[in-house]
Amino acid sequence: MHQRRSRSLRPVPARRLAAGLVLLTMAVVAAGLVVTSPASAREDLTTNARAVALPPPAPGVVRITEANLLSGQPAPDFQSDVATVLSNQPDFIAYNEVPYRLDGFLAPPGYALWRTPGQYTGETPVAWRTDKWTAINQGTTTVSYKEGKLPGQKVEWGIRYANWVTLQGVDGHVISVISAHLAPESEITMGLQDVGVTNLGILANQLAASGPVLMAGDMNFHYGPLQYPRELLASYGFTSTYDVTGTHFPTGDHRGATIDYVFMKAASQFILNETRGGGGIALGLIGRKGRDFFKRRGFEVRSEQVGIFQRLAFSHAAEVANVAIEDFISGQASSVHLVYNEFKSVMSQRILVEQLLPIPRLEPDTKAGPTIDYLYEPGPEEIFRDLLPRYVQAQVYRALLESNAAFFAAQMTAMDAATRNSSEMIDGLTLYMNKIRQAAITREIIEVVSGA
């Protein structure tokens, strides 16, 4: 497990659904995105949320629902809320505030659910459709851990965990889903929201080694310039669906709160923006997972390279760059962009989108005084004819090296986390075994003494 800003405390909710039902129809990563606001969010913030009837999703589209349900409500009301959550058969559900609700209610037939049972660990389960997805890995990660209660507080707000599941679809692609609930701001929990985002970012970077990552939950900060930690989220590649759609809607409680989010790692955000803007996208893909993912969803693939990272060399980058240069010079492409993983540190990698062609023009420094004209031999045209292709090739090679380093860093961190988690599990099971054995010995002694 991993140990995972001033804001006023949230008022007591005036309705059953603690944050409404955030129903988002989202293609995996960014192949297409539609956001549907619950009717009650715009019509009446004090009435119960009602599900919006959605048509069946198009091929390659998944639905994820963030369901922040009010804890402590009567069972009939809770079951009614869960029926609303399930009404559009989402692929994934990120639940909040349901530590003691039965798994059978949260995941009826046709769904499976993962969480570590407990007051704090069981509060954020992930559910998924079993006819479309199979879990291949799962875990529970510490988001923040700070003990202490304010007067009248029943739970310790500073203790937070996130449950996550890595799933494989029937078509073979893999996606990870994180359900999280950050600590609200209080005298005791000051600064824990930044800690939480950091720890969730580390977790997402580890899971990104397997495929796209979606994160949903009550983040306890509003979407706006004062509270929303944009730079911190961006440093881990998180993009809110509010950013993608260019708008946000209140989720139904606290007079229009915007504290519930669905985030996606920004691996293909550029593709979504360009497609929504009317531009055509052709892809040059490197790696088997990227190739399979985009081919399966009907994107035009201009070139592909598979299996090069095991023996990565400059010649591979030159081959990729030469295809891009040829398409740009011939007019088949108006611009060429690189989308790759930047290696920042072992614990932090981020997705970057950089324009490769046309090469951005540097503006002359007018404050530097009069310019000096130089004589070149050979001429500038011949120099640039040789130098510019080498520059493009070097940029591609740098991106490949960064991505490769980021992959190994994420893989190493994930394996280290798995090793620590397994050691903790072994220690816990050993302690439990010793307790059971000691109890059995004690019982036998008592029986002997009683018989004597």
pLDDT tens digits for 125-176? 999 999 999 999 999 999 999 988 888 888 899 999 999 999 998 878 788 9
Residue 115 pLDDT exceeds 50:
yes
Question: CA nearest 23: which of 81, 62, 83, 63?
Answer: 63
Q: Which fold has domain 278-407?
A: Pyruvate Kinase; Chain: A, domain 1 (3.40.1380)
**How do the domains of the chain map onto residue ranges?**
21-271, 278-407
As a whole number of Å, the end-to-end CA separation of the chain is: 50
Class of the CATH domain delimited by 21-271: alpha beta
Backbone angles phi, psi at 430, to 5 degrees: -65, -45
Q: Which of the four pLDDT bands, split at 50, 70 and 90, describes residue 28?
A: very low
Residue 71 pLDDT exceeds 90:
no
Residue 212 pLDDT exceeds 90:
no
Q: Which of 14-28, 115-129, 418-432 has the lowest mean pLDDT?
A: 14-28
Domain 21-271 matches domain 278-407 at the CATH topology level = no
Q: Which of 47-61, 124-138, 296-310, 372-386 has the lowest mean pLDDT?
A: 47-61
d(CA 433, CA 430): 5
Helix 314-330 vs helix 380-451: crossing angle, to nearest 10: 130
Q: What pLDDT score does 96 carry? A: 92
Q: Helix, strand or coil for residue 27?
A: strand
Determine how β-strand 21-27 pairs with β-strand 300-305. unpaired
Residue 184 pLDDT exceeds 60:
yes
What are the tokens at 372? 């000096």
Average the pLDDT over 328-343 and give the result: 84
Residue 41 pLDDT exceeds 70:
no
432 CA to centre of own chain:
35
Q: Which of the four pLDDT bands, split at 50, 70 and 90, describes residue 355?
A: confident
Kindly report the number of other CB atoms within 10 A of residue 418's CB atom.
Answer: 13
Q: 290 CB contacts (<8 Å, ≥6 apart)? A: none
What are the tokens at 259? 């504290």
Q: Which of 38-42, 210-214, 338-342 has the lowest mean pLDDT?
A: 38-42
Q: 365 CB contacts (<8 Å, ≥6 apart)? A: none
